[in-house]
Amino acid sequence: DIQMTQSPSSLSASVGDRVTITCRASQGIYDYLAWFQQKPGKAPKSLIHAASSLDSGVPSRFSGSGYGTDFTLTITSLQPEDFATYYCQQYNSYPLTFGGGTKVEIK
């Protein structure tokens, strides 16, 4: 199985800050990497697929990069509605696996 490791597991930031979350795969996954946002008690929302392609309706302050084993999600100018937990997920091979999540909290 491919292990997905996210860091940090949590962070505190202020509105307007630039935030970067990293995700590392235990083996190469090309660009088969997705990012999701989840708020408490809600379903995940798809943000990015193919490592850097924004899903429909996702604000341009979100961006993704990376290839192979190392990936990043960046939020430029953090907004109040961005405080949530973020997950990466590989879809290169089965079983599909998620990172452990990064909780973005208000400083």
| Strand-pair category, 33-38 with 45-49 | antiparallel
Taking the complex as a whole, how short is the minimal distance between the CB of residue 84 and other proteins, in angstroms?
13
Nearer to other proteins, 67 or 76 (CB): 67
Of 29 and 75, the one with the shorter C-beta distance to other proteins is 29
For residues 3-62, which are near other proteins according to CB under 8 A? 32, 34, 36, 38, 42-46, 49-50, 55-56
DSSP 96: P
CA distance 76 to 88: 18
- The yes or no reply on residue 87 touching other proteins (CB under 8 A) is yes
Which of the ranges 16-24, 62-70, 72-80, 84-92 carries the binding residues for other proteins, by CB under 8 A? 84-92
- A 10 A CB-CB count for 99 gives 25
Contact predicate 68/30, CB 8 Å = yes
